[in-house]
Amino acid sequence: MPAPTTAADFLEMVRKSGLVPEDRLSSAIHRVRSTPVGIDQLASSLVQAGLLTRFQVKQVKQGRYKRFTLAEKYRLLELLGVGGMGAVYLCEHSFMHRLVAVKVLPVDKIASDPTALQRFYREARAVAALDHPNIVRAYDIDKYEGLHFFVMEYVDGTSLQEIVARYSMQNLQFDPTRAAHYIAQAAAGLQHAAELNLVHRDIKPGNLLLDRNGIVKVLDMGLARFFDHRHDGLTQRFDDNTILGTADYLSPEQAINDTVDIRADIYGLGGTLYFLLTGSSPFPDGSIAQKLLAHQTLEPKPVREFRKDVPAELLAVLHKMMRKNPDSRYQTPQDVVEALAPWTDRPINRPPEREMPDLCPAVAALNGVAPSMNMRGSTAKMALSSSRSSTRVIDSNVLPGEVQSEANVPTGRTVATTPIRSSDRPAPSRSRLPMLVVLGAATFAFVLAASAIGAYLILR
């Protein structure tokens, strides 16, 4: 349908969409008739009144007033992220009035990649196997009118990646005690995964969400695999001879061996602790191949060269988490929890509101949070998808089932999220840390050579 050209046209589309109850829309219609206003002014007033979200406004402005409900029960509020394995929407369950994150596999992905659907369900299965307060929970998986989707816990929070990046931009340093608390929480979640023989394989700051209550939740099980995968032919086909994970926090053994265990996650968690303390990934510079080799053969720049206030005992924990040889690290996440106990035996305050996302009034009302006039949008960290995706610009106008185009995104916004996040970078002043992608032939050959060297150094 053509885009509306007047405020009256806009209101008519809103009425057709069913997004706003007729009784609440009538006052807006009366106001337009009595005092003419432009579309932008009207749309802004509807958002401030909590009747529409920004995402919904953008849809209606482009003449789209259908498909705001998925499976007749999930009302679309915001687009949280788009990645290699689908788009993630913030939705309200129409009957339970609960906020959830719904990940939808795009129909074009199924057509172009026959394995996408299997991987999509594998990811959902990995999340569904877990039930722990420090891991994002799965609620449901379903198919509706050809769209495959699964429903997850919505976390109203911000990734540690984004929080520390803001600190770095302001030349501030993250408190070591807070860092210890958050790493210990993530380790507790990983211990639960380990007890179910599940390894995450892509632990990094961007995959740890901090909510308003100070709870850390591990997300993005898209690369997860069970230790005992003899009966999972899908895991074998997709993962064998393929390096999966993010180069900036990848354990040395993960680049040279397709079979890894929970100790690889401990290494990634150590790299995350390093980032919290320094504002930098362990090896921020160089190509993907050079970073992989650095993880295998080099030591990160000492934390003491960034700051002097980190206790030596905490640095010792960090160093042990990041040992090159898995046998020299802590052997379980619970060991990490216990090692951090001297810094976590006392509670800490909730994170300051400035670190949390700003919600538009409609979402804030549903979430029980005071809305912010800034309305930067809720956190976009729920796009649980393949970490091999590169930096992308989100088309804020994409609806479930539509094709996401990167070439024509005039109104999009760059969002830091798992699949679409600007490749994990500690601060704008540092070089970009690209997400790990399938390496080209020349690079892959270099990695093989580097891996051989790393294997020798690890095992000698």
Question: Closest Cα to residue 274, out of 329, 335, 309, 321?
Answer: 321
CB 386 within 8 A of CB 85: yes
What are the tokens at 171? 């030349």
Q: Is the dihedral of CA 191, 192, 196, 199 positive or negative?
A: negative
309 CB burial (10 A radius; 0-12, 13-18, 19+): exposed
Compute, in degrees rounded to 10, the torsion defined by CA atoms 122, 125, 127, 129: -140
- Contacts of residue 376, Cβ cutoff 8 Å, sequence gap at least 6: 357, 358
Question: Is 202 marked active-site?
Answer: yes
Catalytic-labelled residue, pool 156, 202, 248, 358: 202
What are the tokens at 300? 């990160």
CB 430 within 8 A of CB 282: no
Buried b (16+ CB within 10 A) or exposed e, 94-127: eeeeebbbbbbbbbebbeeeeebeebbbbbbbbb
Buried b (16+ CB within 10 A) or exposed e, 187-222: bbbbbbbbeeebbbbbbbbbbbbbbbebbbbbbbbb
Q: Which residues are catalytic?
A: 202
